[in-house]
């Protein structure tokens, strides 16, 4: 009985070994798909892990929308959040919203038009009343200029990393407005590269264009958190490694980092800011 069982086992095991050997060097989508799914399964088998205390997600969720108002929020809200995070001791703030266009509210446009007309008609005279009225209009314009409020918050905090995105060649790269970059010149890209099934399991750490290397938003945030200068970052492609000071970050051959999924829970914070 034992000998028959061994023959039967060999009958299916030997062909299976040959199939695996043949397809291991072939570009077979089915095998790639199952490899991705087995990676997901490893996280399920491992179970949830508790996130560390050094990273907090400031999420735009239903609770935030109920407290602050519907999206999009004024950039003064973002400015207030950045200020509160700085006051709370945040060493680095990675902002993943690209403000590439000016925020022009209806009120700001009306006030700017009123100032232009007031000046064009020569109503700004030498009288105290006209000068006070003009000063009030200018003050109202400044209050409604939420971009300038964000600029001041960025300049004051000096701990914010701004996002940008490389285009696919069909359009121009996307950058924040110049005044935001001047207030906080640290930039990190937010490009993603999903796997074949559409899931995101890896994060691009470095993109090389021409002779330059560009770091991702998370890597730049770590750099800011560790207070490292650019010369303290080393690229070791032969080891698939990026070294931030003494901190090694290991990548694959495509300079991508596998994401360690903690599970369904994340550590988030609620900052109630008002405009």
Task: Tell me what pLDDT residue 274 has.
Answer: 46
> What's the pLDDT tens digit per position in 209-228?
777 899 999 999 999 999 99
Q: Are residues 93 and 177 in the same domain?
A: yes
Domain termination residue (choose one: 201, 234, 268) = 201
Q: Are residues 184 and 113 in the same domain?
A: yes
Within-domain flag for 120: yes
198 vs 160, higher pLDDT: 160
Q: Are residues 65 and 33 in the same domain?
A: no
**Per the structure, how many domains does the chain have?**
2
What the block records as the tokens of 75 is: 């950039």
Task: Count CA atoms within 13 Å of residue 14 on its CB side.
Answer: 6
> What's the pLDDT tens digit per position in 91-124?
999 999 999 999 987 677 777 777 777 777 777 7
Q: Are residues 25 and 160 in the same domain?
A: no
Within-domain flag for 159: yes
Q: Are residues 86 and 180 in the same domain?
A: yes
What the block records as the tokens of 61 is: 């969720």
DSSP state, residue 251? -
Q: Are residues 24 and 90 in the same domain?
A: no
pTM of the full structure:
0.76
Within-domain flag for 264: no
Within-domain flag for 273: no
Q: Are residues 191 and 83 in the same domain?
A: yes
Within-domain flag for 255: no
Map residue 242 onto helix, strand or coil.
Answer: strand
Choice among 26-35, 77-86, 231-240 with the minimum mean pLDDT: 26-35
Q: Are residues 15 and 65 in the same domain?
A: no
Within-domain flag for 259: no
Q: Are residues 72 and 154 in the same domain?
A: yes
Q: Are residues 143 and 178 in the same domain?
A: yes
Domain containing residue 33: 1-47
Within-domain flag for 232: no
Cis peptide before 144 (omega within 30 of 0): no
Q: Are residues 69 and 179 in the same domain?
A: yes
Q: Cα separation of 6 and 162, whole Å?
A: 63
Is there a contact between 274 and 80 (Cβ–Cβ < 8 Å)? yes
Map residue 165 onto helix, strand or coil.
Answer: strand
- Looking at the predicted structure, is the pLDDT value of residue 275 above 60? no
Q: Are residues 68 and 176 in the same domain?
A: yes
136 vs 234, higher pLDDT: 234
Q: Cα separation of 268 and 13, whole Å?
A: 50
Within-domain flag for 19: yes
């Amino acid at each position: 009985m034992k000998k028959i069982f061994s023959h039967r086992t060999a009958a299916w095991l030997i062909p299976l070994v040959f199939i695996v050997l043949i397809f291991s060097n072939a570009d077979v989508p089915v095998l790639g798909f199952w490899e991705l799914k087995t990676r997901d399964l490893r996280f399920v088998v491992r179970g949830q892990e508790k996130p560390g205390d050094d990273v907090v997600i400031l999420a735009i969720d239903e609770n935030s929308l109920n407290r602050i108002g519907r999206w999009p929020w004024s950039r003064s809200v973002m400015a207030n959040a950045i200020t509160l995070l700085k006051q709370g001791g945040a060493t680095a703030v990675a902002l993943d919203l690209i403000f590439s266009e000016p925020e022009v509210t209806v009120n700001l446009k009306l006030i700017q038009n009123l100032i232009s007309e007031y000046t064009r008609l020569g109503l700004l005279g030498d009288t105290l009343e006209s000068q006070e009225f003009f000063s009030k209009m200018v003050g109202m314009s400044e209050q409604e200029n939420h971009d300038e409020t964000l600029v001041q918050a960025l300049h004051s905090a000096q701990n914010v990393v701004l996002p940008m995105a490389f285009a696919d060649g069909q359009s121009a790269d996307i950058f924040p407005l110049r005044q935001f970059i001047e207030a906080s010149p640290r930039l990190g890209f937010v490009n993603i590269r999903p796997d074949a099934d559409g899931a995101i399991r890896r994060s691009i750490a470095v993109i090389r264009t021409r002779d330059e290397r560009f770091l991702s938003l998370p890597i730049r945030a770590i750099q800011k958190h560790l207070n490292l200068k650019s010369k303290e970052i080393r690229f070791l492609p032969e080891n698939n490694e990026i070294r931030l000071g003494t901190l090694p970050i290991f990548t694959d051959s495509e300079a991508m980092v596998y994401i360690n999924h903690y599970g369904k829970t994340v550590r988030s914070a609620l900052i109630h800011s008002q405009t």
